[in-house]
Structure 1
């Protein structure tokens, strides 16, 4: 299985979010300043793979990401998580025959504020990106502000492999 993320801005084409970008935004190492001060719809998709090829979409969840003035999502994610957890695990006093409606209303309000239902149009667009029939079916990728780390050279990878092998020999002795 693998996960994929997509952002669906209000007045522009949807974009694919790389795993590196999403993790960078979650941990504060990356941002999307073009969305600063906005609330954007994001879809997280779980894909079943057969080998390295995607086989089918298992689940798709829609969420709203709130970007601060710098294009960072951490404060918005913290608030969203807090609201949803509070609403989900709200202890109600069910003493007697009166049923408390506040927990249900709180949960519904949190869901409406932080989640959205992924529709057929969005799923079709995501499916076209995963299994493109023509080149134009592939979505462009969003670009964050952090610089992608360059890949290791052959010599560097070889040196790391040798060091790992040597460390492995010391551990087994």
Structure 2
């Protein structure tokens, strides 16, 4: 969308919004293509379940933001969905630890990322038994995260609480 600041004219807000979305999409696709944008990669591959971004992904408010009333549940789910969570994949990023060294401190069986915490880590196995409806059939991460928001959020909050309790008991890890 071209704007001439020397000759101001009315602007179609719909057209402006579409132009902004196209620009944002182009910037995100460029960042995704460069690599190293692990949060963006997490969101696109594990939450959206896409190989790339598409215009239809923009402009829609996620249903869990309104459906989940308990703030702590909503925060835990948002953290898992965005990749900005309590796991070693994220906390290792803060200290610039290489990704391959961000191993789960509870089971030592892989990177402690959202799919690991939600689907495979034995630390959360008892919680999975308490939420059988979420685990009735195997799901890839993006399908798992598209289930009923209130149940997912309650599970995410329970996982976070379990992680906090278990992590306090762990010996300190050198940076």
Q: TM-score, normalised by structure 1?
A: 0.23
Q: Over alpha carbons, which structure has the higher Rg?
A: 1
Q: Give the structure with the larger helix fraction.
A: 2
Q: Give the structure with the larger strand fraction.
A: 1
